[in-house]
A and B are shown apart, each in its own frame.
Chain A
Amino acid sequence: DVKVTQSSRYLVKRTGEKVFLECVQDMDHENMFWYRQDPGLGLRLIYFSYDVKMKEKGDIPEGYSVSREKKERFSLILESASTNQTSMYLCASSFSVTTPSRSYNEQFFGPGTRLTVL
């Protein structure tokens, strides 16, 4: 079974603190993703990574940065947390699946970290 784990299920931080959210996958997947999930907005992509030391911005990267020093680990960093970053954060990983007609990447999600910024 694919396993994606996140360092904390619940986290409470204060405005202005630096926050690290860690994600680890054990299936040697190339791709890793960070999303935030808010009611009525679905999941929105913050950053993703196709390889070690490689990162690309998603749809809402402002206020966030990421680090991928090892293939299995992808960290999300809030440099100076703000109350509007209170959210559920989901990490995912994926690998390429090739069929006779096409290829695709199915994403597997971690349990999520509910972050509250006071």
Chain B
Amino acid sequence: ELKVEQNPLFLSMQEGKNYTIYCNYSTTSDRLYWYRQDPGKSLESLFVLLSNGAVKQEGRLMASLDTKARLSTLHITAAVHDLSATYFCAVTPFSGNEKLTFGTGTRLTIIP
């Protein structure tokens, strides 16, 4: 059974600081997705990572994938209040099944 773990579950950080959210998964996969969810809203796709060493960047967010370590990171640079949200990673097993297994999410709060 595929398990996806995120840490930390809660993160409170000051504006201007850098931090990283970690996503570990338990089985072989080469497709990993990051989503953002604002309070009371649905999930919005942020990044799709498709190979070992893949790196994607959008604004102050950068995601990377290490399939050998079964680890993805979401790095936040010089955080701003607008980035406050819950971030989820999700993994598709290598078998080709398109089911996503989600992590429990990281609730990020940016403090002025």
Chain A residues with CB under 8 Å of chain B are: 31, 33, 35, 40-45, 48, 50, 58-59, 90, 92, 94, 99, 101-102, 104-112
Contact = CB atoms under 8 A, between A and B. Distances in A.
Secondary structure type dominating chain A contacts: strand
A105 B98 contact: yes
Given A109-B43, A111-B42, A112-B42, A42 B103 contact: yes
Given A101-B50, A106-B33, A106-B48, A45 B100 contact: yes
Contacts, number: 58
A63 to B, nearest CB: 19
Contacts of A90: 42-43
Contact of A104 (B88, B92, B101): B92
A97 to B, nearest CB: 8
23 contacts: A31-B98, A35-B102, A40-B104, A42-B102, A42-B105, A43-B88, A43-B90, A43-B100, A43-B102, A44-B102, A45-B100, A90-B42, A90-B43, A92-B43, A99-B50, A101-B51, A102-B51, A104-B48, A104-B92, A106-B33, A107-B100, A109-B42, A109-B44
